[in-house]
Amino acid sequence: MAVRVLMPKGSDTMTEGKVLKWLKQEGEHVSSGDAVVEIETDKVDMEVETNGEGVLRQVLVREGQTVPVGQLLGVIAPPNEDISAMVKEGQAAPPPAAHAEAKPAPTPKAAAPTPAEQKSAPPVAVGAPSVPPTPPKAHGEAAAPEAEAAPATRAPRDTAIPTRELAASHPAVSAGRDGGRVLASPLARRIAKEKGLDLSQVAGSGPGGRIVREDVDRAVATMETEAAAPAAIRAAASSRPAVQGVAVRAPAAARPVFVPGGPEVHDEPLSTMRKTIAARLSQSLGPVPHFYLTIEVDMRRAMELRESANNLNPDLKLTYNDIIVKAAAAALRAHPEVNASFVGDAIRTYSRVHIGVAVPVDGGGLITPVIWDCDQKSLQQISREAKDLIARARNRKLNPDEYTGATFSVSNLGMMGIEEFSAIINPPESAILAVGALVEKPVVTDHHVGIGHRCRLTLSCDHRVVDGATGARFLQTLKSILENPVYLAF
């Protein structure tokens, strides 16, 4: 039976995607669970797998092309099956908007068809756009605003779907070192082979302990970090001193240098992510009536908390941002009217607190991984989860359900020396907190001048939802928590 490979819908904000690389070539055999094509969405790069089997008969969208969600990318079918009608349909106009915006539910495991059913069933459209299921949590996205999610629909059986979904439903088995059997998804097994990683040494987080791509990515990152540690130490010893609190990043790709007689300008096409950022933020600052509130916080006790926690547990590596995120979650619980959205003819207040943390992406752009239920998690849980999400966000390795659903966002530029700034709200959220640098400065306390450690926090508010007094009370509570962080232990 022929299987359509379609441009999947990686998130509710995604309207188009770019084909980066075909992992299978025309005429090549494709097995169930094989990654067929790598695409660029508005947030991440992802591989699309198929649970169909046959030959990649025809590629309709070449590498580098951008097409709408739901567009036919290629056809997988037995060598002798007629696919002319399917190809002609795919070369016609792109699918209607309603179809492209549909958000199918996870592909169910269907019973294998009987020989009679196989014989009578005609080639069908089986590649509806798919996205990993979003848990029943509050709606909203931080890095790029998302529209109201469309009702879930049932996906057909032979759907080409994103990696994470298939990792759970199509495990692969490889032999362990001890002769046992290791459960792993086909993609995880392929990446492990490329990186020289022994899967028997990797703990699986998928259903039944299966090893999925995220497990392999973490193991590879750990392996590379351990291998690079001696070199990094030598390099640090010989390098110039770094600015305190600023992470040194690899330089961006070199820009063209002006040569007399050569071109004076260079136009670089927008990436899919940059297009989305441009569109969404234009929709935010214009229609959303922003106003800004700034407060200065004494961070001395937060500094003591961080130092004590890291001394007790050196592996924790608690950051100021972890503390601020946890404190913001507690303040949102105390002021639920800030944990809300404007939805046309109503104000929607969320009962759960999901905080997005803005992260710059390698190669340009911004994404906001989401820490769910922040108010219910300990500082240790938030710290560990944030580090994992941020590391994978920088490499564009997040899954769609890891960067959608925020009800409030935190953007921190303090590590870059920025003392104060105003962030743009990411609809449908009603507020975003901009965090400046922790600064040592003279302060007056009880009529005496001394040395203090201060941080300026700026809350951007949607005036349709949050009034000035409401935002001010939220900041007062946040300030009180940060200046008395023992509150976070309760």
In single-letter form, the type of residue at position 483 comes to E
In single-letter form, the type of residue at position 230 comes to P
Known catalytic residue at 463: yes
CA gap 186, 33 in Å, rounded: 6
In single-letter form, the type of residue at position 357 comes to V
DSSP conformational letter for 429: B
Closest CA to 415 of 277, 242, 229: 242
**Do the Cβ atoms of 478 and 328 come closer than 8 Å?**
yes
User: Which residues lie below 8 Å from residue 415, measured CB to CB, with a gap of 6+?
Assistant: 245, 246, 247, 437
Alpha carbon separation from 100 to 45, 127, 254, 276, 373 (Å, rounded):
19, 12, 37, 16, 31
Element (H, E) at 438: strand 431-445
CB count, 10 Å around CB of 175?
A: 11
In single-letter form, the type of residue at position 286 comes to G
**Do the Cβ atoms of 352 and 407 come closer than 8 Å?**
yes
CA gap 217, 191 in Å, rounded: 8
In single-letter form, the type of residue at position 7 comes to M
**Do the Cβ atoms of 74 and 61 come closer than 8 Å?**
yes
The residue annotated as part of the active site, out of 29, 354, 447, 463, is 463
Cis peptide before 123 (omega within 30 of 0): no
DSSP string over 395-423: TT---GGGSS--SEEEEE-GGGT-----P
Closest CA to 343 of 133, 137, 138, 153: 138
Give 108-116's long-range contacts (Cβ < 8 A, gap of 24+): 108/154, 108/155, 109/169, 110/157
CA gap 146, 357 in Å, rounded: 16
Write out the catalytic residue numbers: 463
